Structure 1
Amino acid sequence: MKHIGFLSFGHWTPSRQSQTRSAADALLQSIDLAVAAEELGADGAYFRVHHFARQLASPFPLLAAVGARTRRIEIGTAVIDMRYENPLYMAEDAGAADLIAGGRLQLGISRGSPEQVIDGFRYFGYAPPEGMTDADMARRHTEVFLEVLKGEGFAKPNPRPMFSNPPGALRLEPFSEGLRERIWWGAGTNATAEWAAKLGMNLQSSTLKIDESGEPFHVQQAKQIRVFRDAWKEAGHTRTPRVSVSRSIFALVSDQDRMYFGHDDRSDQVGLLSETERAIFGRSYAAEPEALIEQLKADEAIAEADTLLLTVPNQLGVDYNAHVIEAILKHVAPALGWR
C-alpha cells in the first residue's frame, strides 16, 4: 500500500486561460481540492511554499482551514523554505494547525530552492552570520524548530506573571503531541538526506535533485532513499521513517487529458540551479492507463517510497484536478498494488 496524495504549487495568474486568477482563488480552490481529494479516497493534500511569487506562500492559515474542512486526509507542505522562518513562531503556528486538524499535519521543510528575488530571506530579517551560508542558516533554523517541538520547557517564567504558570520552565504553546515525528526534510542531495535521517526527520524527495552521478533521475533518487534509510538505521531511531517522492503523472482517459498532456516531454531534463550546481529534473508521465502502468513499474524511486505526491496543474481548476487524481486512483493504483 502506498499513500497517494496531491501536491499543488498554487499558481495564480490574472489570465483568461486560467481558472485560478487571484490569490483568493488559489487559496479557496486549494481547500476545495483537499475536500474533493478526501472524498475520492486520496491520502494527502500537500502544498508548496514560494515567496515573492504568484503562488501559495504563508502555509499555516491554509493548513488550518483545510484541517477544519476535512476529517481524514493528511495535510502537509512540500516544502517550507527554512531560510525565511522564525523557528519559534513557526512552532506555534504549526502546533495550532495540527491541533485544528486533529494531528494530521505532515510538515515538509527544506533549505529552499532558487528564488524570485535575490536573497529574499534578507527582506524577512534573516541573514547568515559570518562564515555561514544561507543553507547553513536554514539547517540551523531547522535544528531550533525540531528542539522546541519536543515540548520541553526552556523559558524562565516571570515571577509576577499576568496569568498563573505551571511549575518549571515554560514551553511554547499550543503544543501538539507527536508533531515532531511528522516533520519531513526536502533533500536535494544524498548528503542532506543522510543529515535528515540523523535528526529523525522523514524524507521528501522531489522532482528535482542535484545531479551527483549522471544516471537517470529515478535511479539517483532511489539511491538517495537507500542512503537515507541506511543513515536512519545507523542513527538508532526506533520508529520506521516515511519517504515520499513527487511526480507529474497523468492517465489519459479523456479527450481533454490528451489535449492537455498527450504531447508532454517524457525525458529527464538537466539544468543549472546556480553557476556551480547542476540539477536533474524528473520526467513527466502521461499515457493511456495500460502503458502508464508499465512505465511506472520501471521507476525505481517510486518503488522505494511509501508515499507518492501527484503534482497537479491547479490553474485548470478544482474539477479537472479532482479528475486527474481520480484517474490515478481508479485506473493505475490498483494494478500497481498501491491500492
Structure 2
Amino acid sequence: MPDPSTPLRRLGFLTIGLFDAADPGPGHESTLQVIELGEQLGFDSAWLRHRHLQHGISSPVAVLAAASQRTRRIELGTAVTPLAWENPLRLAEDLATVDVLSGGRLNPGLSVGPPMRWDDVKQALYPDTAEVEDFGYGRVERLLGMLRGEPVSGFSGTVGIEEFSDRVQPHSPGLADRTWYGGASLRSARWAGEHGLNLLTSSVVKAEEPGEDHDFASVQQAQVRLFREHHPAGAAARVSQGLVAVPTDSATREQREKYAAYAAARLPRTTSPQGPARLLFAPDLVGTSDQLAEQLHAHAGFREVDEVAFALPFSFEHDDYVQILTDLATRLGPALGWRPAP
C-alpha cells in the first residue's frame, strides 16, 4: 500500500478455534458461528490455524468443510497447514474435496519444516521413516503438482466394475492458484515468489540482517519486496498480512481492560529477536479504529499490501470475537478504505 489514499482491497480474519478439552463441541461450534458472522459482515476471507496436540482446531480442513455448508460467499483458508504433519497425496484429496464443496472458495496456506516438538511426536507420526522424512520445500511442490492434476499413479482404467484415475480425485481446477505459502524469512519469501505461490506474512518474521533486530515492519517490508521481485506476476503478486489488530470502538470497559492487558503481557517478546531462530514478533495493536488506522498507515509492512487477515487473539471469549469482528468490518475496515462484500 503506497500511501493512505490507496484503499484496502480485501479484509479477512484468522482464528485458532480454542475449545474445552472436556467438552470440545461448543468451541468448534463457536468457530463456525464466527465464520458465519464474518460472511454476514462482508469479510472477504476467514482463516483457521492448525494446533496439533493442543486445545485448538487440529483439523481446519474438516472444520472448513462444515463452514462451506453454512456460508455461500466468504473465502475459507488455512494459515497455515504444516506439511510435516501431512501426507501430500491424502491432503490433496481433502483440499480438493472441500474446494468442490465450497464452490471454489478454499485457500490452502502451507508451511514446511520439522513438526513442533519433533522429538516428542516423531515415533507416533513416522514410526518407521522418521529419520528419512524430508520436510523441505519439495513437500509443497509435490502437493502443488497433485492439485494441478499431475499423475500420481502409473495406472488408469477399469478393473471389473471399478474405474481408476491416475490423478487426485476430485480434481478442482484453480485450487493450486489459490494456494499460499506462510513465509517468515527472506529465503522462504524468495522461494514462494519463484514458485508462483501467494504469500502469507504474519505477526512473526525472522530477523536475519544486521540492523533488523528491533524493526519488525522493515523486516516484513523487505521480505514482501523480495517475494514480488521473484514472482512471475511482479508487483501484482498477492500478499496478505496478518497482524493482531483489536479495535475497541464498541467494547465495554471490561473488554478494553482485558485487551490492553493481553497486549501488555505479550509486549516484552517484541523488543528483540527470540530463540535460536531469531523470531521477531510484532506488537499487538489495540485501540480505536482511528488510532489503529493511523498506526497501520505508518507500518512499512502494511504499506506493501492491499489485503489483510487480522489475527484474533487466542484466548478471548465468543462475545469478544463478535465485538472485534463487528468493529473490524464497520469501523477499522472503512477507515482503511475497505468496503464490505455485498
- TM score, norm. by length of structure 1: 0.86
Question: Could you report, residue by residue, the CA deviation over 1:98-152 in whole angstroms, capped at 9, with x for unpaired residues?
Answer: 01110000111102687256353552225252xxxx7x52422211101111113
Q: Tell me the secondary structure at the aligned position of residue 156 of structure 1.
A: coil
Between 1:73-82 and 1:105-114, the stretch displaced more is 105-114
Runs of 4+ in 1 over 6 A off after TM superposition: none
Structure 1: which 5+ residue stretches go unaligned?
15-20
Output the CA distance in 2 between the equivalents of 1:198 and 1:29. Answer: 38
Deviation at 1:52, TM superposition (A): 1.3
Q: Tell me the secondary structure at the aligned position of residue 104 of structure 2.
A: coil
Say which of 233, 242, 255 aligns to 1:246. Answer: 242
Output the CA distance in 2 between the equivalents of 1:60 and 1:26. Answer: 16
Output the CA distance in 2 between the equivalents of 1:280 and 1:315. Answer: 21
Say which of 139, 142, 147 aligns to 1:141. Answer: 139
Would the alpha carbon gap of residues 179 and 187 (structure 1) be closer, same or farther in structure 2, given more than 3 Å must change? same
Output the CA distance in 2 between the equivalents of 1:291 and 1:237. Answer: 34
Would the alpha carbon gap of residues 220 and 30 (structure 1) be closer, same or farther in structure 2, given more than 3 Å must change? same
Would the alpha carbon gap of residues 305 and 332 (structure 1) be closer, same or farther in structure 2, given more than 3 Å must change? same
Whether 2:274 is the aligned partner of 1:272: answer yes
Q: Tell me the secondary structure at the aligned position of residue 6 of structure 1.
A: strand
State how 1:11-50 maps to structure 2 within 5 Å.
11-13=18-20, 22-50=23-51
Deviation at 1:69, TM superposition (A): 0.7
User: Residue in 2 aligned with 1:4?
Assistant: 11
Letter in 2 for 1:202: N
Letter in 2 for 1:4: L
Between 1:296-305 and 1:61-70, the stretch displaced more is 296-305
8 Å Cα contact 1:26-1:56 kept in structure 2: no
User: Residue in 1 aligned with 2:323?
Assistant: 323
8 Å Cα contact 1:51-1:116 kept in structure 2: no
Whether 2:75 is the aligned partner of 1:74: answer yes
User: Residue in 1 aligned with 2:101?
Assistant: 100
Structure 2: which 5+ residue stretches go unaligned?
1-7
Between 1:144-153 and 1:288-297, the stretch displaced more is 288-297
Deviation at 1:270, TM superposition (A): 3.2
Letter in 2 for 1:296: L
Whether 2:296 is the aligned partner of 1:296: answer yes
Deviation at 1:75, TM superposition (A): 0.2
Would the alpha carbon gap of residues 122 and 281 (structure 1) be closer, same or farther in structure 2, given more than 3 Å must change? farther
User: Residue in 1 aligned with 2:313?
Assistant: 313
Would the alpha carbon gap of residues 324 and 199 (structure 1) be closer, same or farther in structure 2, given more than 3 Å must change? same
User: Residue in 2 aligned with 1:17?
Assistant: none
State how 1:324-339 maps to structure 2 within 5 Å.
324-339=324-339
User: Residue in 2 aligned with 1:281?
Assistant: 281
Between 1:3-12 and 1:34-43, the stretch displaced more is 3-12
Output the CA distance in 2 between the equivalents of 1:247 and 1:113. Answer: 24
Q: Tell me the secondary structure at the aligned position of residue 205 of structure 1.
A: strand
Question: Could you report, residue by residue, the CA deviation over 1:49-77 in whole angstroms, capped at 9, with x for unpaired residues?
Answer: 02111111122211110111100101001
Output the CA distance in 2 between the equivalents of 1:288 and 1:304. Answer: 23
Question: Could you report, residue by residue, the CA deviation over 1:217-249 in whole angstroms, capped at 9, with x for unpaired residues?
Answer: 1111111000000010xxx35994311111111
8 Å Cα contact 2:19-2:25 kept in structure 1: no
Output the CA distance in 1 between the equivalents of 2:188 and 2:27. Answer: 31
Output the CA distance in 1 between the equivalents of 2:26 and 2:18. Answer: 10
Letter in 2 for 1:281: F
Letter in 2 for 1:218: A
